A and B are shown apart, each in its own frame.
Chain A
Amino acid sequence: MSRPQSQAEYLARLVPPSVAGINRRSLLAGAAGTGALLGTGLLAGCGDDSGSGGSSKDVSLGSNQSDPKPKEVLVKVTDGFKASSGVQVAVNTVDHNTFQENINNYLQGKPDDVFTWFAGYRMRFFAQKGLASDISDVWGKLSGYSDAFKKASTGDDGKQYFVPGTYYPWAVFYRKSVWQQHGYQVPTTLDQFTALGAQMKRDGLTPIAFADKDGWPAMGTFDILNLRINGYQFHIDLMAGKEAWTSDKVKKVFDTWAGLLPLHQPDSLGRTWQEAAQSLQQKKSGMYLLGLFVGQQFSNDEQDDLDFFTFPEIDPAIGAKALDAPIDGYMMARKPKNEENARKLLEYFGGKAAADINLKNDPAVLVANSGADVGGYTALQKKAAELVGSATEIAQFLDRDTRPDFASTVMIPAIQQFIKNPKDIDGLTSSIENQKKSIFTD
């Protein structure tokens, strides 16, 4: 399951949304701080155990799907694989955050044959470091994937290293009833968008709900502005450290954002995305740029009232066809113990049967395989799938498209600094550039 979704689900069960500021991520990160080494041993140990059988009748899978719902779905998928191939899957489930925190050590130790991961820079990085295996031959047998998905599964060397499973798009969400009441129209250009925001202000609404207490939600805003102003390739190059942050292109992104900030909900640095989503749900805000998981803050009978549009076009030469849609999926470790079975398992994960099981059992995600039977989608899911299907390029979100150290130790403080003081763009971009140079050394 994608990161914010599991976070929200976890919280929804535990605490009222008002106290959602503390989440599993922060708790575990704290715990991992002291237990990182222990966790490493644990992970490596488990991998060793589950893979030690080495018979041709089994294969091991390292899974980060630790929440009950996705975990149950994964069991159903692996059962399906067993039924079709006769190979037993030993699922080694590790807590979602622990898995992510320990991924370096896990992959360098004795990882499971197949493991869950995300598309993006990190996937390509593991491929380049030889920590994951080339699975281009599996891709030869897969069907039902758009070029965008294939591109997102491809490493720097042009080979495929990743099989997509599920995903969710980022878009601007709103309540139909509120928009009908005020007679708003979906904006298709930045000017219309700004005018709509101004109108909402006059109508007593907060135009754009906004929260960045946890540091990552505002990355979505930066991403979409960058994609609209400079396009997908620039986004990828910028994230890979190949473009200068001090360039006019980046400054224009911050400039545009600074122009939009007055339309955003103020004091965002103390607010969680759940609280911001609730302001949309309570009809206090007009719209909210977030992932599909925003729906989790809406009750079941309100789901039909939720709608979205993709962020409007800024530069006609660039268009509005690219978007953030983080993809979760599977990779194969280097030197798997049961390589043949691992490839079979990946083929099954990428196939229609697995997608159908996912779709039937978990309504909170979209499945990547277009061959799946999408009759069970809600209206919102259908629209989201169409949006992503029509996208020319799919970005993975800032913190998945770049080095994790750069995203968390440089970009989060930098974006928060920008929100605090949107005026000093020159100082901000040169600070980012200096730190980037020290991190992207090779």
Chain B
Amino acid sequence: MSDLPLIQADRAVPPPATTTSTGGRRRRLRLLSRTDRVVITLMVLVPLLLVTGFVWLPAAATVLLSGTNWDGIGPLNEIEFVGARNYSDVVNIYPPFVPAIQHNLLWLATLFVVATPFGMFLAVLLDKELRGSRFYQTALYLPVVLSLALIGFVWQLLYSRDQGLINAVFGSSIDWYGDSNVNIWAVMVASGWRHVGYIMLLYLAGLKGVDPSLREAAAVDGASEGRTFFRVVFPVLRPINIIVLVVTVIESLRAFDLVWVVNKGRNGLELISALVTQNVVGEASRIGFGSALATIMLVVSLVFITIYLATVMRENRE
């Protein structure tokens, strides 16, 4: 739900701007007292420092470190630069890398093609004020609220080969988490289960905000339900659609938690984020190599971020 205020904030920006401009130049000068200026400076400076310190510096350090073979031991001046060796190692001799890229893309595709549309579909259904819609809403949103550890437990109970519910009910002996051809789909179901609830709530909130008169007008014009949705409601919901799209991309890029809980991103569940963690965090401390992986992930993310920003900026200009 944390994403909702974002949308409202966007809409809330214009009104204050108009009041200040109508206030005239004199009033504006008076408004900016010394305290105000200090406050404004602080308000700009503090986030700037935070963003620089916690986002840009680490990102730059990661890129720098990716050219070294640092193992986390010893002073910084002993770090040796090895050029692009880490990158060539990643691509040429690191077996989990290619599967990881494939899985990340598969993840994105599945969320985008299956989970997100399904979540939207559920939202449209719930928007019809069915009986007990509150109940469905809660039930579908529950996975998003549950803690990650709990989700791991729940799905392990279902998927365990020897003691799991699925194999017990169907009498099968599929190794859901261990078979590397199957486990990515098993985890994807668990991940989709969470994602659907999230998208559903986002979209439901958007649907509630659609002016009913639009629908009435469409109905008066004789449009069918489906036509009304695709021709009227869906275009009106463009801001929400973009949010949903961005959430989907972000979720698939940062996909990590479930995979890590299942088997730490190994054996068929490789993801870039899991590989970065395996290498950098903990006793392994393969910091140079892990940073190279992280940089690759950064580049992939930048592609999506650029597309998103370009879209949003074009929108603002129009």
Contacts and interface: CB of A to CB of B under 8 A. Distances in A.
Q: Do A and B actually bind?
A: yes
Contact of A105 (B72, B157, B178): B72
B277 A29 contact: yes
Contacts of A267: 161, 173, 175, 178-179
Contact of A269 (B94, B148, B175, B256): B175
B117 interface: no
Interface in A158-197: none
A21 B281 contact: no
A103 B284 CA distance: 10
Contacts of A101: 281-283
Interface string B258-297: 0011111011000000000111011111100100000000
A71 interface: no
Contacts of A105: 72
> What is the interface of chain B mostly: helix, strand, loop, or mixed?
loop
Interface stretch (A223-231, A340-348, A364-372, A412-420): A412-420
B71 interface: yes
Contacts of A131: 73
Interface in A26-63: 26-27, 29-30, 32-33, 36
A85 interface: no
Nearest to A438: B89
A18 interface: yes
B191 interface: no
Interface string B172-195: 010111111001000000000000
Nearest to B262: A21
B281 A215 contact: no
Interface string A232-272: 00000000000000000000000000000000000111110
B71 A405 contact: yes
B162 interface: yes
Contacts of A27: 149, 261
Contacts, number: 141
Contacts of A279: 162
B264 A21 contact: no
Contact of B153 (A15, A404, A414): A15
A391 B270 CA distance: 40
B157 A269 contact: no
A279 B160 CA distance: 14
Interface in A340-361: none
A441 interface: yes
Contacts of A129: 73-74
Interface string B79-93: 000000100010011
Interface in A379-436: 404-405, 408-409, 412-414, 416-417, 420, 431, 434-435
Interface string B216-241: 00000000000000000000000000
Contact of A270 (B72, B85, B96, B161): B161
B160 A108 contact: no
A390 B89 CA distance: 44
A139 B180 CA distance: 49
Given A22-B153, A268-B178, A438-B89, A412 B266 contact: yes
A271 B164 CA distance: 11
A12 interface: no
A409 B286 contact: yes
A18 B266 contact: no
B163 interface: yes
B162 to A, nearest CB: 6
B277 A413 contact: no
A318 interface: no
Q: Which of A103, A105, A405, A434: most chain B Cβ within 10 A?
A: A405
A104 interface: yes
A79 interface: no
Q: Which of A27, A270, A279 has the most CB of B within 10 A?
A: A270
B95 interface: yes
Nearest to A275: B162
A333 B171 CA distance: 56
A412 B173 CA distance: 25
B94 A404 contact: no
B316 to A, nearest CB: 33
Nearest to B153: A19
B69 A21 contact: no
A75 interface: no
B156 interface: yes
Contacts of A441: 69
A269 B178 CA distance: 4
B251 interface: no
Contacts of A100: 282-283
Contact of B286 (A270, A405, A417, A434): A405
B281 A270 contact: no
A431 B93 CA distance: 7
Interface string B129-151: 00000000000000000001100
B264 A215 contact: yes
B260 A29 contact: yes
Contacts of B183: 270
Interface in A1-29: 15, 18-19, 21-22, 26-27, 29
A438 B24 CA distance: 67
A340 B154 CA distance: 53
Interface string A120-136: 00100000010100000
A32 B156 CA distance: 23
A269 B73 contact: no
Nearest to A266: B175
Interface of B: 69, 71-74, 85, 89, 92-96, 148-149, 152-153, 156-157, 159-164, 173, 175-180, 183, 256-257, 260-264, 266-267, 277-279, 281-286, 289
Interface of A: 15, 18-19, 21-22, 26-27, 29-30, 32-33, 36, 100-101, 103-105, 108, 122, 129, 131, 213-215, 267-271, 275, 279, 404-405, 408-409, 412-414, 416-417, 420, 431, 434-435, 438-439, 441
Closest 6 CB pairs of A and B: A270-B178, A269-B178, A267-B175, A404-B283, A405-B284, A270-B177
26 contacts: A18-B160, A18-B163, A26-B260, A29-B277, A30-B277, A32-B281, A33-B281, A36-B282, A100-B283, A213-B177, A269-B177, A269-B179, A269-B180, A270-B159, A271-B178, A275-B162, A404-B285, A405-B71, A405-B285, A408-B278, A408-B284, A409-B278, A409-B284, A434-B93, A438-B89, A441-B69
Given A22-B153, A32-B281, A214-B263, 20 more contacts: A21-B261, A26-B260, A26-B261, A29-B277, A29-B281, A29-B282, A30-B260, A30-B261, A30-B277, A103-B283, A104-B285, A213-B177, A215-B264, A215-B266, A267-B179, A268-B178, A270-B160, A270-B178, A412-B266, A439-B286
